[in-house]
Amino acid sequence: MSNKKVIIVSIVSVLLLVVAIIATSYAVFTANLTGTKENKLTTGYVTMNCTETNFNLTNTHALTDAEGIALGSGNTATCTLTSTMAGTMTVGYDIGLTDVDTATPSDGVGTGNVKIQAKKSIDSGADQYLAGTSANAGVLVSSIASSAGTYDSTNVPSYKIDSATVTGNHTIVYTVKSWVTSIGGSNSTSTTNGKCSDTTYTTESTCEAAGEIWGTDQTATQAGGSFSFKLKIGATQVLS
């Protein structure tokens, strides 16, 4: 064995010995340290709620904006939207009309015959008019048909009234008034031969003896129709 080989073998042996010592040392020293500080995460909550009032107005007729707006509570739907939050979150929401005229879509009162006036008041603040309405004027429901929600277009795909965000605890009162502004369709007409001006009498002799008029009656009737809608809200978290 040459000297060079001896040197190499010695170096390798020394290295192996060092490794063995280290390995042995590591195996014989252990330390387990447990921290004393707790780190915890407790969830907050976000609650959105709408307390609403609805209306069922019957036997109405075509009204001007001024008349419709002045009608009182009989044509007013409200949604008192409250947000309650423990923690901080921004919630974006859309409010609109849904199930619009689904019950009687083919009668004389449709989205082109009905107007709404929409407004909101945040935490009892001043009224803010929505969807193109004002204090003195409404808009036809048909005019907002293509307006979709900003934050939740799935639940408010059309007839949007408002899109907004809310952070923290607030009370937002939405008010929607609705009235018929015109009646579509044509009148039905009927003719009755042999009728008395006082329907108590059913024969010519008794009718005329009572000083009433017996003859032919033509009647034009406007039956009108009905219109309905619901308020719909879709809300979701807005990430910053």
Partner 1 sequence: MFEEKENKNKNKLLTIIGIVALIASIIGVSVAAYYWQFTGQTNTISTGTVSMSLLESTDTINIQNALPMGDTAGKALTHADGSSGVFDFAVTTYASGAPGNITYTISITKAAVDTGYTALQDSQVKVYLVAFEGSTETQVMAPTTVDNIITSGDTGTLTFDVDKTSYLTHAHTTANTTQTQKYRLKMWIDGSVDASSWTSSTNLQYKLKINANGQLAS
Closer of 50 and 139 to partner 1 (Cβ): 50
CB of 143 to partner 1, least distance (A): 17
Give whichever of 28 and 220 is closer to partner 1, judged by the CB atom. Answer: 220
Residue 11 beta carbon to partner 1: minimum distance, rounded to whole angstroms: 30
Q: Which residues share a beta bridge with 160?
A: 96
Nearer to partner 1 by Cβ, of 16 and 168: the residue is: 168
CB of 204 to partner 1, least distance (A): 7
Joined together, the tokens standing for residue 74 give 């009989």
Pairing of strands 114-122, 128-130: antiparallel
Instruction: Write out the residues near partner 1 by the rule CB under 8 A.
Output: 46, 48, 50, 52, 54-64, 67, 75, 77, 79, 89, 91, 93, 98-99, 108-109, 114, 152, 155, 176, 178-180, 183, 195, 197-198, 204, 211-237, 239
- Indicate the residue among 36 and 186 with the shorter CB distance to partner 1: 186
> Minimum distance from CB of 144 to partner 1 (Å)?
15
Give which of 81, 85, 93, 60 is closest to 165, Cα–Cα: 93
Report in angstroms how near the CB of residue 110 gets to partner 1 at its nearest: 12
Q: Give me the long-range contacts of 185-191 (CB less than 8 A, separation at least 24).
A: 185/107, 185/108, 185/223, 185/225, 187/220, 187/221, 187/222, 188/220, 188/221, 188/223, 189/218, 189/219, 189/220, 189/221, 190/218, 190/219, 190/221, 191/216, 191/217, 191/218, 191/219
